[in-house]
């Protein structure tokens, strides 16, 4: 089982240098820890919370990474597909290894409104956005009435191709992942029980479309500390404050041994990759969780 990182890029402070220092520290920790994949997320219109944007952030972090896979999330309905394809092509050309594009439809009304992308249109926008971006990155010329695109082509093209991880939970999204993605990307809010249910629906959709996923990744939010008691103090406090509305079974916290014990169930269900994300917004705690994730990775690789 591979263990990668979705770097935390949201910070509750307006101080502009705190976030970048933390993001770079997490990337350096991920490299030292031997994590397999490095990615960042995508949100928009988040003020006053500082959210460091995906494309420039990954561009900076390429200097901290090596030839292991790297990539970022695009909330596709909020992106013009030609611009998105150009960003992916450029980033993948600078990357020394495979490039991973994670996608989703988005579900935060304030963000959608800020970007002029109504939630009511997100299904149509992601379908057409993916169609256009994927065709452009294959080197094709594209037109789209929905987006007002005529005779579009982009360059550079990804020199090592692109992996498309499509995040979804609803049935339409699961079917989309089977049709248009290289794999489905399990949401962080899934518990072992709900992850098993959605994974079964995804496998059924793959069978209908005659597709075989290249991998089956899932994101898990974590607190990893040297001692189980320390991690539980932090984790319990975050959960008591309503952490993202998640069920306790959807997250993992403790020392490396106990976190591995909580995550191994996903390997047993058939997931091939776990993308960890630090739960704590404290920069030092986030970097430490990433550093210790290397020990979790070693434990999950056994058996």
* pLDDT the model gives residue 14: 66
* pLDDT the model gives residue 15: 75
- Specify the pTM: 0.96
User: pLDDT band at residue 255, thresholds of 50, 70 and 90?
Assistant: very high
Distance set, CA 113 to CA 75, 107, 185, 287 (Å): 13, 11, 25, 33
Complete DSSP assignment for 26-52:
HHHHHHHHT-S-EEE----S-TTSEE-
* pLDDT the model gives residue 12: 84
Instruction: Give the max Cα distance, the chain.
Output: 59
Q: State both tokens at 77.
A: 């309905």
- Angle between helical axes of 192-209 and 171-180 (0-180°, round to 10): 50
Is the pLDDT at 297 greater than 60? The verdict is: yes
As a whole number of Å, the CA-based R_g of the chain is 19
DSSP state of 249: G
More confident of the two residues 157 and 49: 157
Query: Alpha-carbon distance 22 to 31, whole Å?
Result: 14
Whether cis (ω within 30° of 0) applies to the bond prior to 220 is no
Q: What is the CATH number of the domain that holds 141?
A: 3.20.20.30
User: pLDDT band at residue 303, thresholds of 50, 70 and 90?
Assistant: low
Number of domains in the chain: 1
Q: State both tokens at 49.
A: 């919370």
Q: 64 in helix, strand or coil?
A: helix
User: pLDDT band at residue 16, thresholds of 50, 70 and 90?
Assistant: confident
Contacts of residue 190, defined as CB under 8 A and 6 or more positions apart, other chains included, come to: 169, 198, 218, 250
User: Could you report how far apart the first and last alpha carbons of the chain are, in Å?
Assistant: 10
Q: State both tokens at 241.
A: 């404050």
For the segment 136-181, what is each residue's pLDDT rounded down to a tens digit? 999 999 999 999 999 999 999 999 989 999 999 999 999 999 999 9
C-beta atoms surrounding 289 within 10 Å: 30
More confident of the two residues 14 and 251: 251
Beta bridge partners of 65: none
Read off the pLDDT of each residue in 22-48 and give the average, rounded to a whole number.
96
Query: Alpha-carbon distance 114 to 78, whole Å?
Result: 9
The number of angstroms, rounded, from the C-alpha of 110 to the middle of its chain's C-alpha atoms is 21
Helices (H), the chain: 18-33, 54-61, 81-94, 109-114, 122-137, 171-180, 192-209, 228-240, 256-269, 283-300
For the segment 278-293, what is each residue's pLDDT rounded down to a tens digit? 999 888 999 999 999 9
Q: Look up the domain containing 271 and give its range.
A: 2-300
């Amino acid at each position: 089982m591979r263990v990668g990182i979705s770097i935390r890029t949201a910070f509750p402070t307006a101080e502009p240098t705190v976030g970048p220092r933390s993001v770079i520290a997490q990337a350096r920790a991920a490299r030292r820890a031997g994590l397999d994949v490095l990615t960042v997320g995508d949100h928009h219109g988040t003020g006053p919370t500082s959210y460091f944007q995906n494309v420039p952030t990954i561009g900076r972090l390429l200097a901290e990474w090596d030839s292991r896979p790297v990539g970022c999330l695009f909330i596709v309905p909020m992106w013009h597909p030609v611009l998105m394809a150009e960003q992916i092509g450029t980033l993948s050309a600078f990357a020394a290894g495979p490039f991973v594009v994670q996608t989703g439809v988005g579900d935060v009304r304030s963000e959608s409104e800020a970007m002029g992308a109504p939630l009511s249109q997100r299904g149509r926008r992601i379908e057409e956005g993916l169609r256009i971006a994927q065709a452009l990155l294959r080197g094709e010329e594209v037109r789209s009435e929905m987006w007002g695109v005529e005779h579009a082509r982009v360059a550079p093209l990804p020199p090592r191709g692109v992996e498309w991880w499509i995040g979804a939970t609803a049935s339409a999204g699961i079917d989309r992942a089977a049709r248009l993605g290289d794999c489905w990307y399990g949401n962080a809010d899934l518990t072992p029980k709900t992850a098993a249910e959605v994974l079964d629906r995804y496998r059924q959709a793959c069978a209908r479309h005659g597709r075989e996923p290249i991998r089956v990744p899932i994101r898990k939010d974590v607190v990893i500390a040297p001692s189980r008691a320390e991690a539980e103090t932090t984790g319990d406090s975050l959960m008591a404050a309503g952490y993202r509305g998640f069920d306790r079974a959807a997250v993992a916290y403790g020392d490396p041994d106990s976190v591995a014990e909580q995550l191994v169930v996903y390997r047993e269900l058939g997931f091939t990759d776990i993308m960890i994300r630090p739960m704590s917004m404290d920069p030092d705690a986030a970097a430490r969780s990433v550093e210790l994730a290397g020990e979790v990775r070693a434990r999950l690789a056994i058996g």
